[in-house]
Structure 1
Amino acid sequence: MASTQNNSEAELQEGKFLEDVNPKDSSHDVADLEAGPVDQKLESKSDINEVNWESDDDPSNPVNWGTSRKWRNLGVISIMSLTTPLSSTMFAPAIPQVMAHFHSTSTFIETFIVSIFVLGFAFGPLFVAPLSEIYGRRPVYLVSIALFLIFTIACAVSNSLGMLIAFRFLCGCAGSTAMTLGGATIGDSFPKDKRGAAMATWGMGPMLGPVLGPIIGGYLSAAEGWRWVFWLQAIVAGALTILGLIFLKETYPVVILEQRVALLRKETGNQELRSALHDGLSPKQRMSQAIIRPLKMLFLSPIVLLLSLYTTLLFGLTYLFITTFPRVFMLQYGFSTGSTGLSYLGLGAGMVFGMALGGKGSDVLYKKMQARHDGKEEPEYRLPLLVVSAPLVAVSFFWYGWSAQEKTHWIVPILGTVFFGLGMFPGFMSTNMYLVHTYGRYSASAIAASKVLQSIGGAFLPLAGPPLYNRLGLGWGNSVIAFIALAFSPLPWVFFRYGGSLRKMGQVQF
């Protein structure tokens, strides 16, 4: 643990930022909102009927799994979290074909067919997070990917725009699971000081997927038609369903101990046995509380609400880029349907750089700040990287907008989008780790609450792009967006400095 690090590491050169800044009000007198078993140690049993881990090193506890088992489990989840966001935008370059096929000229429908998938991301978490906290992570992952497969096939055979839009929405609902539960699964199985690389690996899917989607979809739809975009997604979803059945393991400690209790009751006949992590609620009470928990967190916890607003902006701007790139690069630079996919490479490169920086840098900074503050484990120690990267989002929109407006070489606006990827990826990764660290047992609900708001932003903010560009042009239109991003950029610093106070305000019984 970080608290046992040697003194030499604590004395490493950390730079003025880490030397001078200490999160205020982040001391241990703040009530622990983690309320759960992520890092729970074995306590002495005062009740002979209480079933707990056999020891602190119990191999049944996911935190104690071997490295290969943890990463194999996370690998399947990471592929799932890449596949569904990729599917959300793979369809974008094929929109002109669809509009022509169904004889529609509505620019609203043109954008909404892409956005409706993301709106499904807002509704799905409200169900998958509570269900995972009752029945476990594994069954929810498996049922969701199977439903995603069925709904994707329905999209492929759609015979009307209405049918296509409806099943795109259902695809989004089913496809939200890996993005909602992935962070919680990492919290189940990785210690706090080793979550950075795991969170970066999982987080790359939701960020990079929407960027890779149009590249693949552009060439596939040009060669085989728009329906084959969905058939390819269905093939991948089918393969993932099989992989999940074989390799996915349960990680939620509450459910694992409940399964152990059920087995012991059967073996011993003692019906008085109960899990040390049992909350004392009946199944009906547990369900009623779990269903409302994400919305309760969203509206009653300042932490969840403010971080959700910030990630909502980032997510919405990501999809604004994604939905407007084809039109911008076709009109400004004469790109074909297939080559418009290449316009997303800047975003992708920025996200890869952001993943490399965040995956390694987050854990390093966390351990250094722990060492500097006497081994304390505060969620604010995950935010320094975000404080530095947040302004890059505004830089990106200024660069991209004015270079595209002036029709400079096409590589120039694409290079501008690299900065968006660099600024956006640490934003999502840091906020997810902050929520997992803070809410532990109920981290799936906390992330679900955040996903609800950000997915609504991802669905509707892109609708403002075309009219904004039509009225103000690419230069000033993107400048307006950049000024909004600048207004939000101090928020990570506020959380870093005053997160402890906000966590005190957020002490609500969930």
Structure 2
Amino acid sequence: MAELFRDTVAGQLLRLITGKRILQYPEERDASIWQKYVNLEKSTNMAMHGSTDPPAAEETGELATRAPSYDRAHRHSEQSPSSSSSSTTFEDGNGLVNTVSEQKVDVENGRVADIVDWYGPDDPENPQNWSITKKILVTFEICLLTFSVYVGSAIYTAGIPDVSRTFGVSEVAATLGLTLFVLGYAIGPMLWSPMSEVPQIGRGPIYIGTLALFVILQVPTALATNFGMLLAFRFLTGFIGSPSLATGGASIADMYTPSKRTYGMAVWGIGAVCGPVLGPLIGGFAAEAKGWKWTIWELMWLSGFTLVLLTFLMPETSSANILYRRTMRLRRLTSNGKLICEPQLIGEQMTGKDIVMMVLVRPFTLSFTEPMVFLLNMYIALIYGLLYIWFESFPIVFSGIYHFSLGLEGTAFLGIFVGVLITLPPFVWYQMKYIEPKFNDKGELQPEWRLPPAFVGAFAIPICMFWFGWSARPDIHWIMPIIGTGFFSIGAFLLFNSALNYLADAYPLHAASVLAGNDLFRSSIGAGFPLFASAMYKKLGVNWASSTLGFLAIAFIPIPFLLFKFGERLRRASRYAQKDY
């Protein structure tokens, strides 16, 4: 627990306040072990040709004799910090030599640098080496964070009639409070996700900083004195609270190897589903008893609790930030300014143009020029849009047809929650039985094998729409449309997990840009659909409006099948996708 707390935002602040005298790291307690954190092989490669990667095959024979032996490495690891802290190089009469690796530095192509890395495959500070208990705790915290923000969209819907009455606007206009919140967390990840990848920042400060602002901004939202003020703060809170919705998946990937990542993403997906599903239930009774403002106060209390918990129990998951902080500690302990980690080297090589391309241009380029990305983005955006437009039919069905009260209306969403809980066990079994054995020795999987669960999910969505639309009648018990809603969570769960894992595997070097583009796509569509939902259901009726959505879902069914068959061919023709596995 002490190590977990040390790496939280609260622990780092406490270290700063006490001058790093408490919650110390191993190298701060025993300065003589600092060199075990220096990767001799990578330092040697830097001295030889200016890169941490091994030299090209044609250079291997010439350079092999210059690599440090184990005896030299072991002898240097026993030195005290003072023996090499004043300088990282020395002259041997034939040129400059790296002190740690004893490698002669190539003055034209090489660089004097001591590469700080994990000290071995079992380094406990590497998030992928954390204990199962720690991984489960952090995964739960990411799920809670995602739920605490995601619930902010649906919790507002229960108060829409009261917003309409309070500010004298139509219910369609009042729906803008939902639309702008969703639009905010469509745009937010374009800023916050790249910031969390910066080694000097990491994920923790982004999570805690934005969540703190999210909590604070609920106060002026609830106290809004006019409709414009309410809409402005709804957009801001969505924008500020968005990091967990895009970066949460990156934190999962920080902790789990590719073969295990699916399980973490699946559990995280439940947290994402719980937000829009339980929001109307949480907000319904409050809005019924106290009005729309109490839905916002509930959001503040929930997110405030999450903020306190994460401040004291959420460690940093970014390996880049962990290695950066380790490098800075070793520099302070040894006065060796040549200590550097690979994430810093990558950052040094990035120009301002590279950063702009990564943040603003590449997500759009990949989304519109890569057929695989475009098709899956459109499909996920459709599912997201259907979710929000379909949710607008629940008051029409359960209040209008079955005469549920505003509070009880929220219980109708529990069918979706039960559906995802039923789907999770067989999905996990399928992954363990059929997918994990397909990973190669390098821990890689042909991306197309992520798609078969989507074959089932693709049919579940239209089944839900037709079942719900044609069973929502006064002469049929209300449990029937609720049972039908469970098919939506089956479809959405399987499609989301398949698509997001497929994109991450197919574009490993550009995963952040691809997933940021996906988030922008789906949230933008989800933001616009609720505006015409009410009119659509009133003019077409619940049966034909739902059937229209079902026919639309049917049109997209071929996408996962086509990508499974032709995906490898498309990847080979792509400039960005991974070619070989």
Range of TM-score over shorter length: 0.7 to 0.9
| Aligned mates of 1:401, 1:340 — CA distance in 2 | 17
Cα 1:405–1:467 change in 2 (3 A) is farther
After TM superposition, give the deviation of residue 406 of structure 1 in Å.
6.6
After TM superposition, give the deviation of residue 261 of structure 1 in Å.
2.4
Identify which range, 261-270 or 167-176, moves more after superposition.
261-270
Cα 1:174–1:413 change in 2 (3 A) is same
CA offset digits 1:119-159 (Å, max 9, x no partner): 11211111111111113211111112112112222211111
Contact 2:415 2:483 in 1 (8 A): yes
Aligned to 1:201: 267
Task: Name the amino acid aligned to 1:414.
Answer: I
Cα 1:509–1:417 change in 2 (3 A) is closer
Aligned to 1:88: 153
| Aligned mates of 1:359, 1:171 — CA distance in 2 | 34
Cα 1:73–1:283 change in 2 (3 A) is farther
Aligned to 2:471: 403
2:533 to 457, 465, 472: 465
Cα 1:262–1:282 change in 2 (3 A) is farther
Aligned to 2:142: 77
| Aligned mates of 2:386, 2:340 — CA distance in 1 | 48
SS at match of 1:294: helix
Contact 2:460 2:488 in 1 (8 A): yes
Aligned to 1:186: 252
Q: Which runs of structure 2 are paired with 1:271-420 in the superposition (5 Å)? A: 271-277=337-343, 278-279=345-346, 280-282=348-350, 284=352, 287-292=355-360, 293-370=362-439, 377-404=445-472, 408-420=476-488
| Aligned mates of 1:360, 1:225 — CA distance in 2 | 45
| Aligned mates of 2:354, 2:208 — CA distance in 1 | 22
Cα 1:472–1:225 change in 2 (3 A) is closer
Is 1:103 the counterpart of 2:100? The answer is no
SS at match of 1:338: helix
Task: Name the amino acid aligned to 1:131.
Answer: M
Aligned to 1:52: 117
Identify which range, 59-68 or 390-399, moves more after superposition.
59-68
| Aligned mates of 2:354, 2:116 — CA distance in 1 | 20
Aligned to 2:177: 113
Q: Runs in 1 of length 4+ with deviation above 6 angstroms?
A: none
After TM superposition, give the deviation of residue 398 of structure 1 in Å.
0.8
Task: Name the amino acid aligned to 1:503.
Answer: R
After TM superposition, give the deviation of residue 506 of structure 1 in Å.
3.7
2:308 to 242, 266, 272: 242
Cα 1:393–1:265 change in 2 (3 A) is same
After TM superposition, give the deviation of residue 227 of structure 1 in Å.
1.2
2:237 to 171, 195, 207: 171
Task: Name the amino acid aligned to 1:86.
Answer: V
After TM superposition, give the deviation of residue 451 of structure 1 in Å.
0.7
Task: Name the amino acid aligned to 1:364.
Answer: K
Contact 1:402 1:475 in 2 (8 A): yes
Cα 1:250–1:300 change in 2 (3 A) is farther
SS at match of 1:44: helix
Is 1:266 the counterpart of 2:332? The answer is yes
Cα 1:323–1:423 change in 2 (3 A) is same
Task: Name the amino acid aligned to 1:322.
Answer: F
| Aligned mates of 1:188, 1:130 — CA distance in 2 | 15
Contact 2:359 2:513 in 1 (8 A): no
Cα 1:107–1:43 change in 2 (3 A) is farther
Identify which range, 376-385 or 164-173, moves more after superposition.
376-385
Aligned to 1:216: 282
* RMSD across aligned positions (CA): 2.4
What is the identity percentage for the equivalent residue pairs of Structure 1 and Structure 2?
35
After TM superposition, give the deviation of residue 503 of structure 1 in Å.
2.6
Contact 2:393 2:537 in 1 (8 A): no
Is 1:500 the counterpart of 2:568? The answer is yes
Cα 1:492–1:276 change in 2 (3 A) is same
Contact 2:148 2:306 in 1 (8 A): no
Gapped runs of 5+ residues in structure 1? 1-41
Aligned to 2:502: 434
After TM superposition, give the deviation of residue 472 of structure 1 in Å.
2.2
Cα 1:410–1:70 change in 2 (3 A) is same
After TM superposition, give the deviation of residue 89 of structure 1 in Å.
0.6
| Aligned mates of 1:509, 1:434 — CA distance in 2 | 11
CA offset digits 1:407-441 (Å, max 9, x no partner): 52222212111111111111112222223333446
Cα 1:253–1:507 change in 2 (3 A) is farther
Is 1:446 the counterpart of 2:510? The answer is no
Cα 1:100–1:376 change in 2 (3 A) is closer
Task: Name the amino acid aligned to 1:201.
Answer: V
| Aligned mates of 2:118, 2:353 — CA distance in 1 | 25
Identify which range, 79-88 or 264-273, moves more after superposition.
264-273
1:228 to 284, 294, 317: 294
Q: Which runs of structure 2 are paired with 1:17-166 in the superposition (5 Å)? A: 44-45=41-42, 46-47=45-46, 48=101, 49=113, 50-104=115-169, 106-134=170-198, 135-166=201-232
| Aligned mates of 1:449, 1:43 — CA distance in 2 | 39
| Aligned mates of 2:333, 2:351 — CA distance in 1 | 23
After TM superposition, give the deviation of residue 355 of structure 1 in Å.
3.0
CA offset digits 1:223-271 (Å, max 9, x no partner): 2322111112111212211222112222222222222222223333332
Cα 1:257–1:375 change in 2 (3 A) is closer
Contact 2:154 2:276 in 1 (8 A): yes
Give 1 or 2 for the bigger CA radius of gyration: 2
Task: Name the amino acid aligned to 2:424.
Answer: M
Contact 1:120 1:173 in 2 (8 A): yes
| Aligned mates of 1:149, 1:108 — CA distance in 2 | 27
After TM superposition, give the deviation of residue 375 of structure 1 in Å.
8.1
